[in-house]
A and B are shown apart, each in its own frame.
Chain A
Amino acid sequence: MHDIDYLERRGVPGVFVASDTFIDAAETQSAGLGLDVAGVYVAHPIQDRTDEEMTALADGAIDALLGALTGPA
């Protein structure tokens, strides 16, 4: 999230992806950074998933990712 904060300061819109057990960690870090960093959460756990499951998670997240990086002009 420090990375996204830096990139937003440089004018680059950013979004991070985390598993949903990290929602409160992300909120705490956002408060510490002073920026409501855009985040998209996917279902925990991650590390023992198969390729097919990871691809499905990405398909499920893509609309939210596009939404977080685009907006009205």
Chain B
Amino acid sequence: MTTTILDPTSEQAPATRERVGRPESLAGLTVGLLDISKPRGDVFLDRVEERLTAAGATVARYAKPTFTKPAPADLRHEIATHCDAVIEALAD
């Protein structure tokens, strides 16, 4: 006689996706900087903004209300609508 043991996990292997295609250069593009609102992340992003601007990109700054949750839907949508690329920082 066999005994069947049931699986306690979700039994879901998420469909694996490739990263979306990258541009050759960020020059002339809009790069969103999403601050997750942990202390010191803003100073890091200030410098990243300077460097990106020097590289010819336009920078748009955003901040999540809290680092403990994903960004609200309207903020995500705004970034997706206005930016060509995004950098999210800084988790520690």
Contact = CB atoms under 8 A, between A and B. Distances in A.
Interface residues of B, number: 44
B79 to A, nearest CB: 6
A18 B91 contact: yes
Contact of A34 (B17, B40, B41): B17
25 contacts: A3-B88, A6-B70, A6-B76, A7-B86, A10-B80, A12-B20, A12-B79, A12-B85, A13-B20, A14-B85, A14-B86, A14-B88, A18-B90, A18-B91, A19-B92, A32-B14, A35-B16, A46-B39, A58-B44, A58-B51, A69-B22, A69-B23, A69-B31, A69-B87, A72-B24
Contact of A54 (B19, B43, B79): B43
Given A3-B34, A54-B40, A17 B89 contact: yes
A71 B87 contact: no
A61 to B, nearest CB: 8
Interface of B: 13-17, 19-26, 31-32, 34, 38-41, 43-48, 51, 55, 64, 70-71, 76, 79-80, 83-92
B21 A70 contact: no
